[in-house]
Amino acid sequence: MFDSPIGIGYCPVVITAPSKPLKQTQILLDAMSRSADEEKAFKNEVMEYLHPLFSRISDIGEVQRQMKAQMDIRASAMDNYSAE
């Protein structure tokens, strides 16, 4: 019989070193990395500006709750006064 390397059960193993990325691929990867860094920096800057705004909104909400409590007390006092 003819003995061939392509015969059944023969599986050649070829090991190669990982190839270095092409210059175009490296340029693309670098641009993607810069873009991700710029996006992260922009997000951090936006959060720095929004944090005081959210703090102020929270403060306004607290003042409104206090004013409502005072108005409820006054309304109750007026109801009692008018009932007399």
Q: Which helix (H) or strand (E) holds 49?
A: helix 23-83
Asked whether residue 14 is domain-assigned, the answer is no
Q: How far is CA 51 from CA 37, 57, 65, 78, 79, in A?
A: 21, 10, 21, 41, 42
Residue 42 included in any domain: yes
Q: Is the pLDDT of residue 1 over 50?
A: no
In a domain, 52, yes or no: yes
11 within some domain: no
As a whole-number percent, the residues of the chain with pLDDT over 70 amount to 81
The pTM (predicted TM-score) of the whole model is 0.46
Average pLDDT over residues 55-82: 94
User: For residue range 31-45, what is the model confidence (pLDDT) as tens digits?
Assistant: 999 999 999 999 999
Q: What pLDDT was estimated at residue 59? A: 95
In a domain, 1, yes or no: no
Number of domains in the chain: 1
Domain that holds residue 73: 22-84
